[in-house]
């Protein structure tokens, strides 16, 4: 009995040592000006959230100067089974899909197959001549949606920076947003990209193109543009041109059966709203390859994508984009002429993500030029070129903004 107990203790100790290996100070961390103690404290904070039942679990990754300096897998990958989180757990990344698709569009721009200033109807004729919906009151005082002519057509650049006039029906309660829901523009995983565009073509826009930043289905439309221009489905194009060259072996629109045990899952019921949490089933390929929110990935895969951007479009000898294209994507494309009140203070928007434009205004730590975005299901990243820094937080927990702020502060606190 004593021998058996010693064996168990040895195995447990070995497991703990292996689990903590990534938390030990590293020489390359010190060389890169990163203190690991604040990151350990950040891990402890997030771990406390998991132990309290606020989140199922999380994976964090911090890199600087092209080196991964800190990783941690916290809590549970699947709260229903008790399976622990792993560094290679696979997450539904939702809107972190958008930067990948935006890079795909910029690759086609570099090849002369697209131009940012082109009207979208040049590639998707069904979107020509869309009206703009203006909500008014009729004689009886009831809200009605009046359609007026657009001053100009939306461009490819408008799609990339979310100034197309499209919207999301799930955020807000306007008449137009209700029509998005009623016509099944959203929530239908059985539509194709082409069918999705056909549905959008039957609805008015929320704003005049080029006047207002409105988070929207724009990147879904970009997925349809890619398909129309290349003759490939979006998943095949992204795999051949971005995912495979970058070695992003666990990224795509679904999870292979052999990897199902690595899928991160949410709580059955949201701890805040007490409502059921219903995330897409990623175990089978969807018919709707939505460019705005439908991909899965891991922390290390997404790190490779972001490091490519931080390197100016190249990683490990593989060039995806030119340096100038990356510079254009990570510049603000809104300026002062385009209304963007819904964006966080101190940030504009580039071609695929938010971009910090002011050292002040923002309520979070950062640098002018840092770029960032997140996904509805609990995924978040930021890249700070000035600090040569990449940080990724992945969880499957809607209503995650508190944890993103906590994560961002903890990472910047670790910089010497």
| 102-126 tens-digit pLDDT | 999 999 999 999 999 999 999 999 9
How confident is the model over 235-254, as pLDDT tens digits? 999 999 999 999 999 999 99
Beta strand pairing call for 57-64 and 67-78: antiparallel
Confidence of residue 24 (pLDDT cuts 50, 70, 90): very low
Confidence of residue 20 (pLDDT cuts 50, 70, 90): very low
Q: Is the pLDDT of residue 8 over 90?
A: no
The whole-chain average pLDDT of the chain stands at 90
Mean pLDDT of 166-179: 83
Residue entry with tokens 């992945």: 394
- 379 strand-pairing partners: 375, 394
How many beta carbons lie within 10 A of that of residue 375, not counting itself? 24
Structural domains in the chain?
27-102+232-413 (3.40.710.10), 114-230 (1.20.58.710)
From 196, 193, 205, 84, select the one nearest 134 (Cα to Cα).
205
More confident residue, 9 or 413: 413
Identify the pLDDT of residue 169. Answer: 76
More confident residue, 169 or 316: 316
Q: Is the pLDDT of residue 360 over 80?
A: yes
Confidence of residue 22 (pLDDT cuts 50, 70, 90): very low
3-class secondary-structure state, position 166 = coil
Which two tokens mark 81? 């089974």
How confident is the model over 174-199, as pLDDT tens digits? 888 888 888 888 878 889 999 999 99
Q: Is the pLDDT of residue 9 over 80?
A: no
Identify the pLDDT of residue 301. Answer: 98
What sign results for the dihedral spanned by CA atoms 358, 360, 361, 367?
positive
Q: Is the pLDDT of residue 6 over 50?
A: no
Q: Is the pLDDT of residue 152 over 60?
A: yes
Confidence of residue 25 (pLDDT cuts 50, 70, 90): very low
Confidence of residue 336 (pLDDT cuts 50, 70, 90): confident
Q: Find out whether 395 and 403 touch, Cβ atoms under 8 Å.
A: yes
Mean pLDDT of 17-29: 46
Identify the pLDDT of residue 30. Answer: 63
Mean pLDDT of 215-220: 95
Q: What does the alpha-carbon distance between residue 404 and residue 412 come to, in Å, rounded to a whole number?
A: 12
How confident is the model over 60-117, as pLDDT tens digits? 999 999 999 999 999 999 999 999 999 999 999 999 999 999 999 999 999 999 999 9
Share of the chain above pLDDT 70, in %: 93
What phi and psi values does residue 67 have, to the nearest 5 degrees?
Answer: -125, 135
CA angle 140, 144, 146 (to 5 degrees): 125
* Cα R_g (the chain), whole angstroms: 22
Mean pLDDT of 366-390: 96
Confidence of residue 10 (pLDDT cuts 50, 70, 90): very low
Q: Find out whether 290 and 190 touch, Cβ atoms under 8 Å.
A: no
Reported as type and span, the H/E element at residue 326 is helix 323-329
Mean pLDDT of 275-280: 92
Identify the pLDDT of residue 288. Answer: 93
From 58, 29, 106, select the one nearest 320 (Cα to Cα).
106
How confident is the model over 391-408, as pLDDT tens digits? 999 999 988 889 999 999
Identify the pLDDT of residue 5. Answer: 38
């Amino acid at each position: 009995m004593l021998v058996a107990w010693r064996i168990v203790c040895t195995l447990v100790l070995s497991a703990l040592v292996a689990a903590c290996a990534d938390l030990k100070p590293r020489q390359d961390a010190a060389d890169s000006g990163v203190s690991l103690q604040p990151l350990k404290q950040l891990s402890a904070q997030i771990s406390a959230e998991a132990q309290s039942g606020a989140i199922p679990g999380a994976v964090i990754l911090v890199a600087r100067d092209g080196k991964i300096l800190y990783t941690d897998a916290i809590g549970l990958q699947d709260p229903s089974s008790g399976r622990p989180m792993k560094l290679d757990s696979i997450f539904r990344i939702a809107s972190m899909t958008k930067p990948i698709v935006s890079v795909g569009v910029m690759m086609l721009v570099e090849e002369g197959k697209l131009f940012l200033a082109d009207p979208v109807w040049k590639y998707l004729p069904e979107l020509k001549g869309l009206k703009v919906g203006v909500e008014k009151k009729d004689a009886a005082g009831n809200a009605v949606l009046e359609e007026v002519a657009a001053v100009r057509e939306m461009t490819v650049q408008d799609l990339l920076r979310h100034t197309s006039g499209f919207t999301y029906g799930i955020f807000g309660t306007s008449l137009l947003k209700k029509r998005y829901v009623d016509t099944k523009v959203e929530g239908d995983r059985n539509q194709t990209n082409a069918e999705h565009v056909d549905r959008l073509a039957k609805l008015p826009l929320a704003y005049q193109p080029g006047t207002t930043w409105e988070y929207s289905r724009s990147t879904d439309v970009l997925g349809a543009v890619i398909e129309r221009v290349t003759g490939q489905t979006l998943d095949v194009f992204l795999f051949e041109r971005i995912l495979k060259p970058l070695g992003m072996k666990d990224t795509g629109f679904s999870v292979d059966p052999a990897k199902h045990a690595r899928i991160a899952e949410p709580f059955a019921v949201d701890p805040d709203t007490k409502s059921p949490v219903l995330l897409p089933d990623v175990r089978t390929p969807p018919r709707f390859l939505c460019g705005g929110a439908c991909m899965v990935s891991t922390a290390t895969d997404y790190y490779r994508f972001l490091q490519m951007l931080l390197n100016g479009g190249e990683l490990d000898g593989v060039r995806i984009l030119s340096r100038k294209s990356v510079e254009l994507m990570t510049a603000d494309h809104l300026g002062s002429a385009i209304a963007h009140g819904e964006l966080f203070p101190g940030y504009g928007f580039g071609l695929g993500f938010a971009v910090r434009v002011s050292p002040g205004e923002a309520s979070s730590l950062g640098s002018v030029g840092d770029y960032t975005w997140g996904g509805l299901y609990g995924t978040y990243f930021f890249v700070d070129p000035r600090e040569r820094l990449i940080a990724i937080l992945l969880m499957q927990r809607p209503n995650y903004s508190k944890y993103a702020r906590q994560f961002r502060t903890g990472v910047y606190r670790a910089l010497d």
